[in-house]
Amino acid sequence: MFAGVGRIVTRFPWLVIVTWILLATAAIVTSPGLGGVTNSDQSGFLPTDAESARAARLAERVFPDSAGATGVLVVSRRDGAELSDTDVASLGQLARQLNLDRRPITKSVFFDPAQTVAPNHKVAMLVAQFGGVAEHADVQAAVKAMRAEVRRILANTSLTAGMTGQAAIVVDNQQAYLNAELIVTIATVGLIVLLLLLIFRSPIAAFLPLLAVGLVFGISLALVGTIAQALAVKVGQELPTMLTVVLFGIGTDYILFLLFRYRERLRAGDTPREAIIAAVARVGEAICSAAFAVIAAFGALVLAALGFFRTLGPALAIGVAVMLLAALTLVPAIVTIFGRYVFWPSRLTRATEARHLVRGARFVAVGRFVGRRPVAVLVAGVLVLGGLAGAAVRFHPVYDPIAQLPPNTEATRAYQDLKRGFPAGSLNPTTVYLTAAEPIETGAVQDFTSRLGRVKGVAAVLAPQTSAGDRTVAIPLVLSVEPYGSAGLDLVSGPLRTAARQAAPSGSTVLIGGQTMAFADVRAATNHDLAVIFPVAGLLFLLILAGLLRALVAPLYLVVLVVLGFAATLGATALVFQDGFGADGLGFIIPIILYLFVTAIGTDYNILMTARLREELRAGHDRRRAAALAIEHAGPSVGAAALILAGTFGALLVSGVPFFAQIGFAVTVGIALVAFVVSMLLVPAMTALTGPRSGDPEPPVQDDPSMDVTVETAPAPLAITSGK
């Protein structure tokens, strides 16, 4: 099948290239893009039956004037002293001026010396109420305009201010992600070019992946935007950055596998057309199986309850599917056009082949050691991974959107200032909604409110708001704990909710609303999703690997080893960030990210290695010799691909966003463990011990000489000569 694809592509290379360009142009021109389908609020992806979501709909219907995002202006003196009476009077004037100059989307700016000046007079608050959600473009523009106006008004005074709160956090979050996307893209492209230049010593081979992946990236974004708009769904703001890393990482891997085989056949004396056909024939099945494994893993996220996961997975799966098609058609067509010049100025001859084999001796040595000592390798590898996996129990998820921001953002600084004089929960009060079919008596409301105020962790009860008809009452509560911390989430979803339901008058119902409850619901949805997605993905991996290997034992131990690598990566990340850097925890979606990029993409290397093991077994080698040869021949490809993919994710370390830094470290370590420990050592060692039962059970056969690529001569990733 794949040889047939190679023959068609090499016969009509220009037609294939032009077709891709036309399709890309049509997709990009007709797509609405991601601007209108992006949501930066993780709580906005909650299921409709989540309690906070139901509370938000109730508030929008019954209290429309108070619905919408809020922003908190935190004001203090530049010298750090207490606010004077003159300063407080100036804040009143500031509030009046902001109300006069406000945009239509801004409903009001509230200031009351009795309520919004801290008891210690260190800070004061001005609360801005907006008429839309924080992701609304008009709200974000209003936040930026208000910040600029406040800076102008306070420029020559003794006061300074910063805006935090939900609306401001979203604005700063989006800006941080835009900056990160630019930094990561530049770092990723630069790193890939550098590594490919070192590997191939050819500018054409170095820039070929960028050309292909760049085209695929544009098509993928366009398709995701079109589909999201058609289905009326939202995608997370992380998608463009994640898609950049995924496509450049996995796309470069697939192209690398293809180029290594193509170069090998050229050195063996094939014509360029024969070489590319042989490369597609040999590598096509492995690439296709690897891509299907990744697509299945990404696609399994459609089972998630949290909309963020449910849209992220399929969006990334679309990108991988387009990349697979490009790797099997577009890239071979481009290589056909360039022919031997793909590797210019290198000279691909049998003489240089011998020198490259000498330079790849390290893989020969590793292969021989694994073949001779499979038990020792297996025990050592499992002990290392198991030791790190044991630290995974230390993983503590955090849901704080402020913690994801760079520490120098205005929203972060203002929040720290806020806590100098107010309870942490003042940032986003939690609102308890009491609803009944009949008007609720004032005495019942007072008793209900009093009992809420006695719940441990509630710092203050603000003035209740009653709807027309007295059938719904909203009681804002200020928590004494961090509103996005574990204590806050535990409080609103546990003791506070229990106390509210117990205290509710007969015939009434209670809903807990606000951002703290929203993130408590996010936590519950995430826990559900992890429990559902992982088993389904594991089953899909087993089926795909069984189809590729036509065996039962190998798929089982491959999945077990990858899961062990996943746990080891999570443990290593927890040790570094929580114990080493003293972080409160890791981003709550780190396990899903590791599932996507370590478990799923790391399976690529296992598939490539097991495919090579199958070739060696079918060629008649005994199991230990097959393991040694597989490492010798496929090791350089796996090593180079893993180096590029790990380096690609490593670029996230310079993003400036703590969340991305955690992802960058975790995935880089995970790829290294899966590629260099699991794929290159443990998988061949298991094959050496289990024998033919782990791979293709067919008897040895002789392959078609025209397609024979039983020697993978790709050298060590950074030890490639120019062939002079």
What is the pLDDT averaged over residues 313-338?
Answer: 89
pLDDT at residue 711, rounded to an integer: 35
For the segment(s) 69-171, the CATH number from 3.40.50.970, 3.30.70.1430, 3.40.50.720, 3.40.50.300 is 3.30.70.1430
Per the CB < 8 A criterion, the answer to whether 263 and 356 are in contact is no
Q: What is the pLDDT of residues 534-585, one digit of tens each?
A: 888 788 878 877 776 676 777 888 888 888 999 999 999 999 999 888 888 8
DSSP single-letter state for residue 694: G
Cα 683–chain centre separation? 27
Q: Give bridge partners of residue 110 from the DSSP assignment.
A: 127
The span from the CA of 601 to the CA of 595, in Å, is: 9
Pick the closest to residue 431 from 525, 510, 520 (CA basis): 510
The span from the CA of 276 to the CA of 7, in Å, is: 9
Q: Give bridge partners of residue 508 from the DSSP assignment.
A: 436
What is the pLDDT averaged over residues 27-49?
Answer: 71
Residue 83, pLDDT > 50, answer yes
1-48+201-358 domain in CATH 3.40.50.300? no
- Which range (115-119, 331-335, 399-403, 454-458) has the least confidence? 399-403
Mean pLDDT taken over the chain: 83
Pick the closest to residue 704 from 267, 286, 278, 288 (CA basis): 278
Residue 151, pLDDT > 50, answer yes
Residues of the chain with CATH 3.30.70.260: 429-513
Strands 397-398 and 586-587: parallel
Q: Helix and strand tally (H, E) in the chain?
A: 26, 13
The pair phi, psi for residue 34, each rounded to 5°, is -95, -10
Which tops the pLDDT comparison, 146 or 39?
A: 146
- Which range (542-556, 654-668, 709-723) has the least confidence? 709-723
DSSP single-letter state for residue 238: T
Question: Coil, strand, or helix at residue 149?
Answer: helix
pLDDT at residue 4, rounded to an integer: 85
Tell me the fold of 429-513.
Alpha-Beta Plaits (3.30.70)
pTM of this structure? 0.77
Q: How many CA atoms lie within 13 A of 96 on its CB side?
A: 6
Whether the bond between 345 and the residue before it is cis, its omega within 30 degrees of 0, is yes
pLDDT at residue 548, rounded to an integer: 67
**pLDDT tier, 714 (very low <50, low <70, confident <90, very high otherwise):** very low
**pLDDT tier, 701 (very low <50, low <70, confident <90, very high otherwise):** very low
Per the CB < 8 A criterion, the answer to whether 583 and 666 are in contact is no
The span from the CA of 273 to the CA of 349, in Å, is: 17
360-395+528-699 domain in CATH 1.20.1640.10? yes
Residue 709, pLDDT > 50, answer no
Q: What is the pLDDT of residues 213-247, one digit of tens each?
A: 888 888 988 888 888 778 777 676 667 777 777 78
The span from the CA of 371 to the CA of 290, in Å, is: 25
pLDDT at residue 356, rounded to an integer: 47
The pair phi, psi for residue 303, each rounded to 5°, is -80, -5
Element (H, E) at 124: strand 124-130
Residue 651, pLDDT > 80, answer no
Q: How many CA atoms lie within 13 A of 523 on its CB side?
A: 21
- Which range (243-252, 254-263, 439-448) has the least confidence? 243-252
Q: What is the pLDDT of residues 257-272, one digit of tens each?
A: 888 888 878 877 888 8
Residues of the chain with CATH 1.20.1640.10: 1-48+201-358, 360-395+528-699
Which residues, at least 6 apart from 373, have a Cβ–Cβ distance to it below 8 Å? Answer: none
CA distances from 722 to 202, 256, 263, 382 (A): 8, 17, 13, 39
Residue 704, pLDDT > 50, answer no
